Structure 1
Amino acid sequence: MRIPSASPDPASSRAFPPLDGVTSPTVDTGLAAFYLNRQPQTLRAWASLENGPIRPVRVHGRLAWKVAEIRKLLGVDQ
């Protein structure tokens, strides 16, 4: 009997550039979550409750996370 494999998570198949290769000042929630090793929903909760270690900026109603703050939080401040 063959057991069907779980369908791959679309976010896991997304290619993420290394953090030191990011040149934009901000990244979207999915990319920030990848760098911080958290689920995107965790970052959305941080934004909503304003209780996370970093705060996003809102660009046209969407969350954008400052790359400089992510680097600082991870201890790779440039």
Structure 2
Amino acid sequence: MDTQNMPPELARIAQGRDFLTTAEFARTVGRAPQTARKNFCIAGHCCGVRPRNVGGRLLWPIADVARLLTEGA
């Protein structure tokens, strides 16, 4: 992930990873983790970001989160 175009706080949370956990994603976008899960169950996304289900866990792509934070919803 290119950290040059990423908001500094997101780069700090990401620590070089490509995905965020649900708790990290929720904190980043100002939602509760359960709200992010609920939005995913109802609409298939939260704030326009679609997570990947890996081993029963939702992992949120940092590239999409960075795009959301820089360009808006």
Task: Tell me the equivalent position of 1:19.
Answer: 10
Normalised TM-score (structure 1): 0.67
Q: Which has the higher helix share?
A: 2
* Structure label with greater radius of gyration: 1
Structure 1 moving runs of 4+ over 4 Å: none
RMSD: 1.5
Q: Which runs of 5+ in 2 are unaligned?
A: 1-8
Normalised TM-score (structure 2): 0.72
With CA pairs under 8 Å and 6+ residues apart, which has the higher RCO, 1 or 2? 2
Q: Are 1:34 and 2:20 matched, yes or no?
A: no
How many residues are paired up? 59
In structure 2, which of residues 58, 61, 67 is the aligned counterpart of residue 63 of structure 1?
58
Percent identical pairs in the alignment equals: 31
